[in-house]
Amino acid sequence: MTYAPVGGLGADEPHARFYDLVAAEWIKLRSLRSTWIAYGATALAVIAFNAGTAYDTYNYWAERSAADRADYVRAGIPPQEAFTANSAMVLMLALGAIGAVAIIGEYSTGTIRTTFAAVPDRRSVMAAKTVVVSAVATVFGSIVAGASFGLTQAILDGRDAGISISYPGALRVVVASALLAPVCAVVGMAIGSVIRHTSATMIAAVAVILVLPIVFTEGRHWSAVAGHATLYQAWLRLVEVGPRQTDFPWTTGGAWTVYAVWALTAAVLAVTSAHRRDQ
């Protein structure tokens, strides 16, 4: 009599399809109430930051000079108020933490052992987890960025200062802000898959996502180039409307490339780290 190996699949048992793994990871994610609380709190904070900035402009509009009011839209300020730097920092930190928790939560509770026992192909498990985390974060980012744009411009319309999505650069602001969510979530997940300890992972995520872009300045060429390779500075470049005022300018195409490189690198690291470290 032949027995199936302990913790693995028998010879006659079919391997799990990738679709099934994605479905299983989706069930894991949506069954955790803390996940939706984190997403909800982040959405409220981000939208509140943006709406508050727009309301300040609305409230103090009369104190601006006639020239300032006339130049407000022409200077490209409404798109900048659609998604502010403060709200972007909140989004980046929160999504990095949510992405990290998606993996370190299973390691801290030990449930990852059950998952890998059921599906020994660890790369497929991590790939499915990455797909689910990035997909949910993309939907979340799209909702938050779209809601922020609509709400802020509705507030500014009260002073005839709002813009439509067809305004030059406005759609880029919304898309760049929306995609910031999945990229940071996957980066957080990659950091968590490597470190696997909650406190150390959170510290590393803050350092990589927030501190690193601040360290590099525009004062020297090497520092400017290094800063341009960070997510936060790439987002700043994408949401700018008008000419870039700097000694070391770079293109929006370069900023989109930074997004892509960070996302792909983090995804590969998240998928491969479990297999390599646990051999």
pLDDT digits (tens, 9 = 90+) for 165-203: 999 889 999 999 999 999 999 999 999 999 888 889 999
pTM, whole model, 2 decimals?
0.87
Round the average pLDDT of the chain to a whole number and report it: 86
pLDDT, tens digit (0-9, with 9 covering 90-100), for 105-159: 888 787 888 888 887 788 888 999 999 999 999 999 999 999 999 999 999 999 8
Question: Average pLDDT of 49-73?
Answer: 87
Tell me the mean pLDDT in the region 37-41.
96
Question: pLDDT tens across 228-278, in order?
Answer: 999 999 999 999 876 566 667 788 899 999 999 999 999 999 999 876 555
With residues binned 3-state (H G I as helix, E B as strand, rest as coil), the percentages for the chain, rounded to 5, are 75, 0, 25
Positive or negative torsion for Cα 141, 205, 258, 185:
negative
- Cβ-contact 145, 83 below 8 angstroms: yes
CA atoms within 13 A on the CB side of 194: 16
| Whether 228 contacts 237, CB under 8 Å | yes
Residue 160 pLDDT more than 70? Answer: yes
